[in-house]
A and B are shown apart, each in its own frame.
Chain A
Amino acid sequence: MIGVGPAGPIVGATPEGAPGPAADGSSPRAQPRERGGWNTLELRDLDPMAERPFWVTLAQLPGVGPVGFARLLHRFGSTRAAWAAGAELLTVLPRVADDGNAALRRLRREGPPAVLARVERATRLAGGEVLTALDATYPRALAEIDPRPPVLYVAGDGDAFEAPGVAIVGTRRATGYGRACAADLGDELARAGVTVISGLALGIDGEAHAAAVAAGGRSIGVLPSPLDRVYPPRHRELARRMLASGGALVSELAAGQSTGRPDFARRNRIIAGLARAVVVVEAPDRSGALLTAAAAVDYGRDLHAVPGPIDAVASSGCNRLIADHLAALVTSSAALLHAVGARSGARPVSVATLSEAEGLVLGGLLRRSASIEELIGRTGLRTGVLASAVTLLEARGLVDNYGGATFHPTPAARRIGAAADRAR
């Protein structure tokens, strides 16, 4: 449901009339932007190097999020001053739990330089670096949003943040349709030189990342977990491939911590913040992807949604975004490219010599995805012949069933289809 943007205005009615979940533990809803917030801070006056140890140390306090951090800066002017204020700094942080005091004492014993060194070492071990909101290398897209993560832990190529990025998000319980759409969009965007941003989750996210990497493009994964514990573990290999192809991984949680649960809400806001536009590919009524959508509206990002059949539970959230005029309807990957202002990239010419059965099957699937059962009715071929043709198309990378009974054409197959249409 579209709920409350973090420390922002209500952007959409909640379908059930229930209040949306507070996206961030440290962002009370009734916090008007004027009283706190990042946009009213004069960060340019602060010396990044002098602030860094205190900045990073205070970010380690449990319960201090982007909003609380901004409040500290408003109250004390700098993190160095806040640190010098001692336990008094906790008075501005009503949401810091009782153990905040104990944590503060522990950090104080260790001392900011040692804390910084420890965090930097752990982050380096995980292959990343520590970026504060004061650093010049802090992603520019995030430097506009409010609230903004005070510290980011980033692995991979920093250039990935310079290129325009589009976020592709959706449910973890994706259907074959959703996965096929995510792959199609990810492929098309990557070929057009657009960075594909997502949350590395199972389902839609993973499919979009994988398609972007396969197309040779850059992809940024925003983790709900620290860099040294990529979540979900099943996507560790995918994360490695993303890094290898010029992408990046971003986390708001410091590496080397023994505790800390994955924080999906904060992850989703960073995704929306990094992107120029957000596409929700498939989302049921209650989906984390809708939090990303809410954040996108809050940050003034373009929001797009892929529609689904009106009886498809998995697409009901997307359909509602469109019905409520919060998201633009995605009619095709080419239309999305146009909408985000990108030019269609070079398409490798796919030449495939297909047998008659394969041609029939692929032609049928390009018109509409189908199971073998349905193809029997459409093509009149025997089950065995169809099963064999589908496998061959699968081996050629032209169709995929994403583990289900229904087969979908892959991006490569769509290119063949488009080429055939042009030739006609």
Chain B
Amino acid sequence: MLAETLSASILGVDGVPVRVEVDVAFGLPALTIVGLAGSQVQEARERVRSALRNSGFEVPARRITVNLAPADLPKDGTGYDLAIAVGILAASGQLPRHDHLSATALVGELALDGALRPVAGTMALAAAVRDAGVPEMIVPGGSVGEAATAGVRAYGAVTLGQAIRHLAGLEVMAPGPAELPASLPERAAGPDLAEVDGQQVARRALEIAVAGHHNLVLCGPPGIGKTLLLRSAAGLLPPLEDDEAVAVSRIYSVAGLLDRRTPLVRARPFRAPHHTISTQALVGGGPRVRPGEASLGHRGVLLLDETLQFRADALDALREPLESGSVTIARVEGALSLPARFTLLAGFNPCPCGWRGSPGRACTCEDAAARRYAARLSGPLRDRIDLWVTMAEPERQTTGIARGSRPPEGSNPVAARVAVAWRRQLDRQGRANAELPAPQFDEQHGFAASFLELLARRGRRFGLSPRRMHRTARVARTVADLEGEATVSALHLDEALRYRAVALP
């Protein structure tokens, strides 16, 4: 007999509906799974067999063929277990009612005792199910919130038996909560800005970068607070908007990083990978494509501390997401696109020893070595940096220790200013200033004709490429937003230009 159940597969960070066809026929007893099933899927045979037996069902001593359609899509993972088990029961006449099966998607990994275990990417799978017009979904108990967030009627089953009883109409479960659950921490934890002494210029640039989603470089000798400043950005980020939260949560779900109790990420992502990270881990990829740090930082911050210590190919791979906001992974079967629109925060020393350009300190690097080091930030990458601050060791009298009177500003007032500036951007254009397309540099967005003339003049004076000029205009827009001004003025432009990138040494 033939039966069909519904499940879904992950492709990149998107779900794809998958039909699970089960045929139970006469022949030597066997269980075969076809449809480009990977090894994790092949092992489902053993899990399904045991789980069925231990849940009080019978595995028919027949020839069982399972086909995962579309058959040309490579499939991996353990989420098909539930759909396969239910399909076998339906095809062997152990599930009296079939009509539910066409309206209910099934996702979950089976334990040998018949318990259901959660799988990564439930949110993306649920979204695919919803988009395919399937109204209901049975997921492992813990994942019900995640699935409900995507907008399907989700039922959380703890065991295979519970799922079967629900499908058979014997013991109908209640659907999971449909409204978006609010997660508690709306900000990632980070050091407080009050811990950083002095460095007013770097602080200001950081505030601008965080407010308008501009890419920032802090370059300076060791021990002056680069890392502390960059890490404190985590506490300045405004919470995600609703649509952003759904997009980010799906990525986290696929990566298996979602907290199942609060399946909707509210805190803006703040990712700080170590500099030994591989290219694949940074931008995503792998045999079963997984989102990299660039995608995990989507709508948030990607902090690369000691940026120039990262592998050159890893850094270069960031060019594409920095420009287009997504990562394309080319495969034999076709290209796959992962969202990766992050704000890059970078911090590094000016040379291998760190002291080049510091008065009173001797740089011990060969000129060629220092140049090679600085050139690790390739030209195209350099061109995509919006704000560049060359930091210096503070002189004694400029630090708070000696000044005594004015303590450094803490994170809270800065975060409040950032939140206001962010709201202004959303109200005006519905997106961050860094994403404002050049054709929209018009009156409506606060750019007067005289401003654009000045921009062109300054661009010529400082030898800026058109791309750099556009980026500078966006930074100036954010400066104006932080100042609470509707129109971008020459003052804002000149401040934005102060943070322009410096040439190679």
Contacts of A389 in B (CB 8 A): 494
Contacts of A177 in B (CB 8 A): 359
Please determine whether B199 and A173 come into contact, CB atoms closer than 8 angstroms: no
Q: Is the interface of A mostly helix, strand, loop or mixed?
A: helix
B residues 182-236 touching A (CB-CB < 8 Å): 198-201, 203-204, 220
Please determine whether B201 and A313 come into contact, CB atoms closer than 8 angstroms: no
B389's nearest neighbour on chain A, judged by CB, is: A405
Please determine whether B363 and A404 come into contact, CB atoms closer than 8 angstroms: no
Please determine whether B392 and A405 come into contact, CB atoms closer than 8 angstroms: yes
Contacts of A406 in B (CB 8 A): 359, 392
Please determine whether B494 and A387 come into contact, CB atoms closer than 8 angstroms: yes
Interface residues on B, range: 35 or more
B403's nearest neighbour on chain A, judged by CB, is: A377
**Contacts A387-B495, A391-B495, A405-B392; A373 near B199 (Cβ below 8 A):** yes
* Residue A390 is within 8 A (CB to CB) of chain B in the complex: yes
* Residue B356 is within 8 A (CB to CB) of chain A in the complex: yes
Determine how close the nearest CB of chain B comes to the CB of A287; give it in whole angstroms: 12
* Residue A137 is within 8 A (CB to CB) of chain B in the complex: no
A313 CA to B505 CA, complexed, in Å: 19
* Residue A372 is within 8 A (CB to CB) of chain B in the complex: yes
Please determine whether B367 and A172 come into contact, CB atoms closer than 8 angstroms: yes
Please determine whether B200 and A395 come into contact, CB atoms closer than 8 angstroms: no
A376 CA to B202 CA, complexed, in Å: 13
Please determine whether A405 and B204 come into contact, CB atoms closer than 8 angstroms: no
Contacts of B367 in A (CB 8 A): 172-173, 202
* Residue B331 is within 8 A (CB to CB) of chain A in the complex: no
Pick the interface stretch among B145-153, B163-171, B393-401: B393-401
Interface size on A, residues (CB 8 A): 34
A residues 370-396 touching B (CB-CB < 8 Å): 371-374, 376-377, 383-385, 387-392, 394-395
**Contacts A388-B491, A388-B492, A391-B498; A373 near B201 (Cβ below 8 A):** yes
* Residue A314 is within 8 A (CB to CB) of chain B in the complex: yes
A314's nearest neighbour on chain B, judged by CB, is: B359
A28 CA to B277 CA, complexed, in Å: 55
**Contacts A385-B491, A387-B495, A395-B462; A404 near B390 (Cβ below 8 A):** yes
Contacts of A173 in B (CB 8 A): 356, 363, 367
Please determine whether A388 and B498 come into contact, CB atoms closer than 8 angstroms: yes
A401 CA to B505 CA, complexed, in Å: 13
Between A and B, 7 residue pairs with Cβ closer than 8 Å are: A173-B363, A175-B357, A313-B362, A371-B392, A376-B200, A405-B390, A405-B391
Extra contacts besides A314-B359, A391-B495 (15): CB < 8 Å: A173-B356, A175-B357, A373-B198, A373-B200, A373-B201, A377-B398, A383-B200, A383-B204, A384-B495, A387-B201, A387-B494, A388-B491, A388-B495, A395-B462, A403-B505
Residues of B in contact with A (beta carbons under 8 Å apart): 198-201, 203-204, 220, 356-357, 359-363, 367, 390-392, 394-395, 397-398, 403, 458, 461-462, 479, 483, 490-492, 494-495, 497-499, 502-503, 505
